[in-house]
């Protein structure tokens, strides 16, 4: 890489960090180059890449810039044992008390995670009764994935095994017919009953505070997003999220993430499952 490219990539990292808090690792040069060129094509920007970054720094195309540098990999029932824990340990208590369960999905990407939470509730309702009521707030910083999630149309290969055996997808999705589908593909659309449980909103985890009440949520999913932040920033995000979790509420983290400074304020209930035992003052 020549000096100009090194300088360009350092600028990208700096801008991305200031807008999102995301820290790009050292080995991401090919990814940065590809995404930057694609951004210039998509925005039909007339100028070189340095000019493009100048414009972004001045406030134009920031949404497109953020959207092109997020990584949105996700799937239905990812780390399925978290949904099983929700179904078996948490939901029965709420069905019994009749109290509504408030859940927060803090990096919802294209929607598979919050829809999996909602399907878990619907499935549990069949055995626990209709007194089980839930609301889910699902947020992400990327406007493209939020729109995709709200639309709720997913493309699958017929042979894919996205759903665990205890979920019958035909209960929650309508099959859609489209001319351009490949032989192996099916298209499914989330039914309204599932959608109604979820509110999708834009939110930046890097914001200094979040628009929720203290101890508002019974459950928070924060999975496979902390890995994009420095340890210092992971701690800041975790503490902010934690202040919105009720005592006795549950925090789910991704498989390679850890609770850092929260460790003395939680009790471990399973693999990356943490119950809040006290507030941090
Ligand atoms: C790899 S996906 C994880 C999706 C899902 N939680 C899962 O575990 O399957 C990470 C998501 O975090 C979002 N993200 C990254 N930085 C963010 C930030 N500062 N605020 C909110 N969301 C962010 C990305 O847009 C992306 O959709």
Which pLDDT belongs to residue 135?
98
Distance CA 262, CA 134 (A): 26
Supply the pLDDT for residue 181.
Answer: 79
pLDDT at 237: 98
Predicted pLDDT at 184:
82
Residue at token pair 């839930």: 134
The percent of residues above 70 in pLDDT, for the chain, comes to 100
85 is catalytic: no
Q: Whose CA is nearest to atom 9 of ligand 1?
A: 74
Q: Residue 50's pLDDT is what?
A: 96
For 81-151+193-276, the fitting CATH number among 3.40.50.150, 1.10.10.10, 3.40.50.300, 3.50.50.60 is 3.40.50.150
Of 167-181, 211-225, 243-257, the range with the lowest mean pLDDT is 167-181
C-alpha 47 to ligand 1 mean position (Å): 30
Task: Delimit the CATH 1.10.155 region(s) of the chain.
Answer: 3-69
What average pLDDT does range 242-271 have in this prediction?
A: 97
Q: What share of the chain is helix, strand, coil (3-state, %, to 5)?
A: 45, 20, 35
CB 272 within 8 A of CB 257: yes
- CB 21 near ligand 1, within 6 Å: yes
CA 119 remoteness from chain centre = 16
Question: What stretch(es) of the chain map to CATH 3.40.50.150?
Answer: 81-151+193-276
Tokens of 238: 């975790």
Cβ of 253 below 6 Å from ligand 1: no
Query: Which atom of ligand 1 is nearest the CA belonging to 206?
Result: 19
Mean pLDDT of 32-54: 96
Residue 8 scores a pLDDT above 90: yes
Annotated catalytic, 35? Answer: yes
Alpha carbon of 20 to ligand 1 centroid (Å): 11
Does the Cβ of 219 fall within 6 Å of ligand 1?
no
pLDDT at 119 over 80: yes
Q: Which two tokens stand for residue 81?
A: 């044992």
pLDDT tens figures, 122-156: 999 999 998 899 999 999 999 999 999 999 999 98
Q: Which of 11, 35, 89, 125 is catalytic?
A: 35
How would residue 24 be classed by pLDDT, with cut points 50, 70 and 90?
very high
Ligand 1 centroid – CA 3 distance (Å): 31
Positive/negative CA dihedral, 269, 126, 121, 82: positive
* CATH topology assigned to domain 3-69: Chemotaxis Receptor Methyltransferase Cher; domain 1 (1.10.155)
Residue 198: count of CB within 10 angstroms of its CB: 23
Q: Which residue has the tokens 């471990």?
A: 268
Question: Which residue of the set 40, 85, 140, 218 is catalytic?
Answer: 140
């Amino acid at each position: 890489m020549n000096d100009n490219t090194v300088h360009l990539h350092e600028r990208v990292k700096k801008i991305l960090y200031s807008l999102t808090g995301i820290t790009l690792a050292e080995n991401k040069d090919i990814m940065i180059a590809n995404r930057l060129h694609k951004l210039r094509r998509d925005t039909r920007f007339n100028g070189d890449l340095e000019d493009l970054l100048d414009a972004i720094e001045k406030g134009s195309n920031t949404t497109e810039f953020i959207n092109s540098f997020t990584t949105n990999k996700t799937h239905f029932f990812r780390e399925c044992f978290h949904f099983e824990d929700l179904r078996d340990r948490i939901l029965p208590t709420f069905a019994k008390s009749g109290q509504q369960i408030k859940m927060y999905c803090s990096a919802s990407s294209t929607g598979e995670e919050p829809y999996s939470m909602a399907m878990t509730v619907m499935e549990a309702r069949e055995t626990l009764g209709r007194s089980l009521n839930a609301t889910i707030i699902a947020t992400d910083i990327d406007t493209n994935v939020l729109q995709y999630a709200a639309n709720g149309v997913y493309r699958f290969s017929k042979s894919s095994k996205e759903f665990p055996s205890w979920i019958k997808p035909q209960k929650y999705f309508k099959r859609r017919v489209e001319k351009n589908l490949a032989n192996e593909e099916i298209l499914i659309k989330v039914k309204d009953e599932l959608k109604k449980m979820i509110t999708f909103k834009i939110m930046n985890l890097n914001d200094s505070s979040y628009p929720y009440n203290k101890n508002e949520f019974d459950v928070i999913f924060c999975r496979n997003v902390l890995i994009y932040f420095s340890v210092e920033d992971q701690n800041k995000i975790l503490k902010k999220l934690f202040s919105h979790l009720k005592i006795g509420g549950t925090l789910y983290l991704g498989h390679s993430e850890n609770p850092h400074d929260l460790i003395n304020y939680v009790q471990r209930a399973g693999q990356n499952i943490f119950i809040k035992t006290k507030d941090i003052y």
